[in-house]
Amino acid sequence: MHVYIHVPFCARRCSYCDFAIAVRREVPSRRFVEAVLQEWEHWQGHLAWVESPAIDTVYFGGGTPSRLQPGAIADLMAGLLRRRQMTVGAEVTLEANPDDVTPAAAAAWSAAGINRISLGVQSFDPSVLTWMHRTHTAEQVAPAVEAVRSAGISDVSLDLIFGLPAALERDWARDLASAFALAPDHLSLYGLTVEDHTPLGRWTERGEVAPVDEERYAAEFLVAHGELEGHGYEHYEVSNAARPGRRARHNSAYWRRAPFIGIGPSAHSGLGRERRWNVRDWAAYDRASAEGTSLVAGAEELTDEAVALEEVYLALRTSEGLPAGRLPPETVAAWQEAGWSGSDGDGRVRLTPEGWLRLDALVAAAAA
Ligand code: SF4
């Protein structure tokens, strides 16, 4: 079983972000712990059928989980463990922003059971960080990594964003080199997307920012792929790469369609065919929790077709690929011919980096 806890609090909204967040100067850590553990209690009756009731991964995502008081992380972990055991060697990840990482905080997270940190770096370029409305500086990243490792948390992942508007003159190769210099165990590389209702969406609508063109986006993705392979990382999923043995087990569970429980505002859960999601806003979640009313905003039962499509989409995201028999032979042949997929002779179709750049279109075509 895999547990995701959505911590919505952020110091301010980044220019590109449309996640479910709550901007707070003072984070209501106590109240958050109470509400989340109350939801965890509600889940227990629903989990009776889950084959393996032990927790294999926990992921504190956000938002900015590192803005919770460190004691709150310990209380959340203790609350989870009151009801379920952890598997031996369970992966417990905390997303953190570099400016929140101090030696004391890292030591407290480690003592609470956190054994993996995903650090939201995004860029090492000061002007890019300012444009993104990030709260940290480039100089804070290396000390943050050092503090985490000194606290005994050896598994460190860095997030970077590529595909920024050309006008920013961001040097992607230099940012990649700065990341490799820190020898992270794992890297997540996300392409910038322009979402409505974000500062970036408004800048774009007003014509103040020109979104990156497809060619530059593709070129940066392919540069990253080459650099990752050259530095000994396995590019094991379209947006993720790891040193051997350091793949993210939590996210890998999503791609395998393993059961996962999402707790907190906006969190999604998937148990077999069942999908459900919580109310999005912290204020609404907090109120429903206090009143004892339902936290669930919606639910659905996936159809056979939806399950099949999800399986194809998720498998093609990964370097494990998809059994070739799941696709029409002419599709497999056409993709190979175009250089979008390859096969190691084991009967599986694996997208190449060029194929990953067309992932949505290929899946749509395969489903048609
Ligand atoms: S820190 Fe993360 S979740 Fe918070 S506003 Fe920035 S991108 Fe969004």
- Give the list of residues 6+ apart from residue 202 with CB closer than 8 angstroms, or none: none
Name the residue among 89, 35, 28 with its Cα closest to residue 58: 89
C-alpha of residue 367 to centroid of ligand 1, in Å: 34
User: How does residue 75 score in pLDDT terms, banded at 50, 70 and 90?
Assistant: very high
- Residues in the ligand 1 pocket, defined by CB under 6 Å: 10, 13-14, 17, 19, 21, 62-64, 97, 120
User: How does residue 80 score in pLDDT terms, banded at 50, 70 and 90?
Assistant: very high
Name the residue among 113, 91, 183, 109 with its Cα closest to residue 146: 183
C-alpha of residue 8 to centroid of ligand 1, in Å: 9
Share of the chain above pLDDT 90, in %: 91
| 206-to-50, 217, 281 alpha-carbon distances in Å | 50, 22, 28
Q: Mutate which of 10, 101, 128 to test ligand 1's pocket (most atoms within 8 Å of Cβ)? A: 10
- Ligand 1, atom nearest to 16 Cα: 7
For 178-210, write each residue's pLDDT tens digit.
999 999 999 999 999 999 999 999 999 999 999
Q: How large is the average pLDDT for residues 334-347?
A: 91
* Residue closest by Cα to atom 3 of ligand 1: 63
- Helix 329-338 and helix 359-367, axial crossing angle in degrees, nearest 10: 160
C-alpha of residue 103 to centroid of ligand 1, in Å: 22
Q: Is 80 exposed, middle or buried (0-12, 13-18, 19+ CB in 10 A)?
A: buried
Residue 225 and residue 163 in contact, taking contact as beta carbons nearer than 8 Å:
no
* Residue closest by Cα to atom 5 of ligand 1: 13
C-alpha of residue 13 to centroid of ligand 1, in Å: 6
Neighbours of 141 (CB within 10 A): 24
Q: How large is the average pLDDT for residues 318-324?
A: 95
Question: Per the structure block, which two tokens stand in for 96?
Answer: 């953190």
- Ligand 1, atom nearest to 13 Cα: 5
User: How does residue 344 score in pLDDT terms, banded at 50, 70 and 90?
Assistant: confident
Q: Is the pLDDT of residue 67 over 70?
A: yes
pTM of the model: 0.96
Q: Mutate which of 16, 19, 195 to test ligand 1's pocket (most atoms within 8 Å of Cβ)? A: 19
- Mean pLDDT of the residues in the chain: 95
User: How does residue 51 score in pLDDT terms, banded at 50, 70 and 90?
Assistant: low
Neighbours of 136 (CB within 10 A): 19
Residue 62 and residue 27 in contact, taking contact as beta carbons nearer than 8 Å:
no
Q: Is 19 exposed, middle or buried (0-12, 13-18, 19+ CB in 10 A)?
A: middle
Residue 75 and residue 109 in contact, taking contact as beta carbons nearer than 8 Å:
no
* Residue closest by Cα to atom 8 of ligand 1: 17
Q: How large is the average pLDDT for residues 323-330?
A: 92
Residue 308 and residue 325 in contact, taking contact as beta carbons nearer than 8 Å:
no
Q: How large is the average pLDDT for residues 211-235?
A: 96
Output the pLDDT for position 52: 62
Residue 236 and residue 247 in contact, taking contact as beta carbons nearer than 8 Å:
yes
User: How does residue 50 score in pLDDT terms, banded at 50, 70 and 90?
Assistant: low
Using CA atoms, how far apart are residues 313 and 188, in angstroms rounded to an integer? 19
Q: Is the pLDDT of residue 224 over 80?
A: yes
For the chain, state the CA radius of gyration: 21
Residue 194 and residue 184 in contact, taking contact as beta carbons nearer than 8 Å:
no
* Residue closest by Cα to atom 2 of ligand 1: 63
- Ligand 1, atom nearest to 133 Cα: 6
